[in-house]
Structure 1
Amino acid sequence: MTVLFEASHRGEPYVGLGDPEDAELTLYPAAGLDLPGAVLAAGSDTEALTRALTAGRPVEVPALDVSFRPPLLPRSPGDALVGGFMATHNVKADSGAPDQPNWFFKGLGDVLKVSGEPLRVPGSAVAVTEEAEVVLVYVGDADGTPRYAGYTFGNDLTDIGRFRRHNGHLSYAKLCDAGIAPWLFLGTPPTHVTGHVTIERDGDAAWQGAFVTGTKALHYPLRDITSRLLSYSSLLHPGRVHYVYLGADRSSFHHGFTMADRDRVTIAFATHGVALTHPVHWG
């Protein structure tokens, strides 16, 4: 499967095709490149996209020497919309579940943070938890219709305590930063994803646990929930990039753990070789 990423090296923008576990990266110049537009133009023709992106002279650099960007993030963060669904997984949805899960808005493109960057939560947060999730990425075509581009992985950091205190406050509970991997997998959403979470406090592991996600873990048909969401004209605009978080398995909160300011959260999506690490900052 083709995996696409954007990065900067020595102050210059590049694009690459590779594996999340590669120690050495092959980068191609991307100055002036409209990457979302290129992905949209190529559609499902990954060979054509590869040819278009690798036309420049490549450079080989260690992965540690580059700074990654969220996949397809527009240069103006206001052109990206980040949101998702809650209680989508079989382990959370019961017989009384609605026919469409609740959707939430997390923010614009500037709430997306790649590994190593802090995730900010409000100073008034009640009880914060990580949520290991598959993230679908869409790009609005000339008519504003979102076209599926690929998928990645993320951490939908949530003030679950605020939601538990008053379930009408889901909209507030979700207004935390979101972790996201820079790797865009150019294929259909994964059916089965497994991994584990480690939360460190003062350098020591304070909590660890495993998770299962992917489309087979969903209580709802994926096509139904995404097509309904993306049918609302108020969300649509040409060139807008949508990041849709698909919901999570049980988290550390469900196992009785309480996260604190400056905790360090690592989510390893083991089946796909992707790891996200973020310190969590209150206020």
Structure 2
Amino acid sequence: MHLSQVIGGGVVVRAGRDARLIPGATIFALASEAVAQARPLLHMLPEGGERVDVMALAAGNKLDVPVRHPEPARMYLCGTGLTHLGSAATRNAMHGGAPEHETDSMKMFRMGIEGGKPAAGAVGVQPEWFYKGPGTEAVAPGAPLTSPGFALDGGEEPEIAGFYLIGPDGTPNRIGFTLANEFSDHVTEKINYLFLAHSKLRPASFGPELLIGDLPHHIEGRSRILRDGEVIFDKPFLSGEDNMSHSIANLEHHHFKYAPFRRPGDLHVHMFGTATLSFGAGIKTEPGDVFEISAPAFGLALKNPLQVAPDTGLVTVRTL
């Protein structure tokens, strides 16, 4: 089953081709009630509702990020890298790694291969981790992904993201999974691996549909870039644990083991990484390019145009 959030209120529930609207509802409120009652989210969905065309809603840019916190500062956008089989090859090349020289990226990837999928109940090796920003940086499907004026690049990263609501007792509750575009500055990252944190402080987009239930073990998707209606990049991507060096449970543990990330009422969006980048294929994106990320398991494709903000110049600090 898939859920979508309508901008301005209303939740679309889709099972197969049948889509119906729950007017005035939000997925965040439904998830909060599910946590309060200790019941599955699906049990919070009322019966009935008018039939709607979810494709038309998406085409009209009327769908939002599936889950938003009413207080954007309490919504955390984070993620993990070097988690997918094949992801190290792109990263190693980006950072100048030769076959005879093992970069830190390759070492971290090898650690994940060797210890990223521990036995049930055990703790595995921790992954690379990054922070992207608060909920203000969560961009709706169809809306522009804006690269700051000082950026050297604005490139897509097709990923799967999990949405989590922290319960009153500090327990993370997984709401569901969506497609994600973990937008990054790969040119800045390539200068020096220690610039990775800077390269990730960008907006990201999620949705348009939220997959309820377990994440499929094998996910096949496509990442495309269109320029003036013509496809300039088209490559498949794989995700799901069958194609990863870490288990989802291990990635979740190493994020939520930090007490500040288990504050009751907070919302977390965690991106699980990728192995497919147009940057690795030599693509230089331009304003107006449209990123399109799709995977059948997640319903509708996630599309966002690239926009570049004016450079605001030197930031000065005022003394009070």
TM class, shorter-chain normalised? Answer: 0.7 to 0.9
Residue 95 (structure 1) shift: 6.2
- Following TM superposition, the consecutive aligned residue runs of length 4 or more in structure 1 with deviations greater than 4 angstroms are none
What is the Cα-based RMSD across aligned positions, in Å? 2.3
Task: Call closer, same or farther: CA 1:224–1:165 in 2, change over 3 Å.
Answer: same
Quote the Cα distance in structure 2 between the aligned partners of 1:118 and 1:169: 24
Bigger radius of gyration, 1 or 2? Answer: 2
**1:265 has 2:257 as partner:** no
**1:244 has 2:270 as partner:** yes
Aligned to 2:50: 59
Aligned to 1:7: 6
Residue 271 (structure 1) shift: 4.1
Mapping 1:71-220, distance limit 5 Å: 71-93=66-88, 96-97=107-108, 98=111, 99-220=125-246
**Identity of aligned pairs, percent?**
26
Secondary structure, in 3 states, of the residue corresponding to 1:128?
coil
Task: Call closer, same or farther: CA 1:199–1:241 in 2, change over 3 Å.
Answer: same
Residue 45 (structure 1) shift: 3.0
Residue 84 (structure 1) shift: 0.2
Which of 20, 27, 36 is the equivalent residue of 2:31? 36
Aligned to 1:18: 14
Deviates more, 1:177-186 or 1:151-160: 177-186
Quote the Cα distance in structure 2 between the aligned partners of 1:28 and 1:225: 33
Task: Call closer, same or farther: CA 1:70–1:43 in 2, change over 3 Å.
Answer: farther
Counterpart contact for 1:121–1:282, Cα < 8 Å:
yes
Give the TM-score of the pair, scaled to structure 1: 0.87
Counterpart contact for 2:189–2:195, Cα < 8 Å:
yes
Give the TM-score of the pair, scaled to structure 2: 0.78
Counterpart contact for 1:115–1:181, Cα < 8 Å:
yes
**1:68 has 2:63 as partner:** yes
Quote the Cα distance in structure 1 between the aligned partners of 2:218 and 2:164: 21
Task: Call closer, same or farther: CA 1:167–1:72 in 2, change over 3 Å.
Answer: same
Gaps of 5+ in 1: none
Secondary structure, in 3 states, of the residue corresponding to 1:153?
strand
Quote the Cα distance in structure 1 between the aligned partners of 2:106 and 2:132: 27
Corresponding letter in the other structure for 1:16: V
Structure with greater helix percent: 2
Quote the Cα distance in structure 1 between the aligned partners of 2:67 and 2:297: 23
Structure with greater strand percent: 1
Secondary structure, in 3 states, of the residue corresponding to 2:12?
strand
Q: Which deviations, in whole Å up to 9, do the C-alpha atoms of 1:52-107 show, x marking residues without a partner? A: x315x622333324722222212221221111011111112476224322111111
Residue 270 (structure 1) shift: 3.2
Q: Number of aligned pairs?
A: 273
Residue 31 (structure 1) shift: 5.2
Quote the Cα distance in structure 1 between the aligned partners of 2:274 and 2:151: 20
Quote the Cα distance in structure 1 between the aligned partners of 2:198 and 2:295: 27
Counterpart contact for 1:144–1:240, Cα < 8 Å:
no
